[in-house]
C-alpha cells in the first residue's frame, strides 16, 4: 500500500509561495499586434458603413469623434489592419457610459472588395450604460 505524505501548514505555505513566485517570473505571452496597443481603446461595438466606421466606446462625458483616429496598414493585397487610435483621454467626471462616434476611413483602393482585420479588442458592456443616440 502506498504511503500518503501529509504537509504541514508551513510546507504548504512555502510551496504556495514558490508556485506564486514562479508564475510571476514567467515570461508573458506577447501579442502579435503592433506596439501601439496602449493607444488602442477597447471597443464595445463597431459597424462599417461604406467609407465610415461607427464605433462604440466608453465616455466620461466629453468624448467625441475628435478623440479618435483611424489607422489602416496594408496586410496583403486586399486585406488591411484597421486600428482605432485614441488620441486623448476623456477627463470629464460623468459616470462612464458607452457612446457611438463615427469616423472616416482613410481612402483605400477597391474599398468594396477590401477586407479589414480589427486590431482593437472588443468587449461587451456589462455594467456600462449606453447613452441615448
∠ CA(116), CA(48), CA(98), 5° rounding? Answer: 115
pTM of the model: 0.66
Round to whole Å and give the CA distance between 105 and 107: 6
Of residues 96, 106, 30, the one with CA closest to residue 74 = 106
State the 10-residue block means of pLDDT for the chain, 133 residues long. 57 50 44 56 92 94 96 94 95 92 93 92 74 64
CB-side exposure of 65: number of CA atoms within 13 Å?
Answer: 9
pLDDT at 111: 85
Say what the alpha-carbon torsion angle 109, 112, 116, 120 is, to the nearest 10 degrees.
Answer: 100
pLDDT at 126: 67
pLDDT at 110: 87
Beta strands in the chain (DSSP E): 45-49, 52-59, 68-76, 79-86, 97-104, 115-118, 129-130
Amino acid at each position: 500500500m502506498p504511503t500518503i505524505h501529509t504537509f504541514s501548514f508551513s510546507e504548504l505555505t512555502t510551496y504556495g509561495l514558490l508556485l506564486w513566485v514562479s508564475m510571476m517570473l514567467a515570461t508573458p505571452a506577447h501579442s502579435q499586434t503592433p506596439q501601439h496597443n496602449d493607444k488602442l481603446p477597447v471597443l464595445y461595438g463597431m459597424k462599417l458603413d461604406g467609407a465610415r466606421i461607427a464605433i462604440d466606446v466608453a465616455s466620461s462625458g466629453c468624448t467625441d469623434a475628435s478623440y479618435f483616429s483611424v489607422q489602416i496598414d496594408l496586410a496583403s493585397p486586399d486585406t488591411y489592419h484597421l486600428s482605432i487610435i485614441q488620441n486623448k483621454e476623456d477627463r470629464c467626471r460623468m459616470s462612464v457610459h458607452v457612446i457611438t462616434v463615427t469616423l472616416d476611413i482613410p481612402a483605400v483602393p477597391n474599398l468594396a472588395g477590401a477586407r479589414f482585420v480589427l486590431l482593437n479588442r472588443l468587449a461587451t458592456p456589462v455594467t456600462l450604460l449606453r447613452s441615448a443616440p
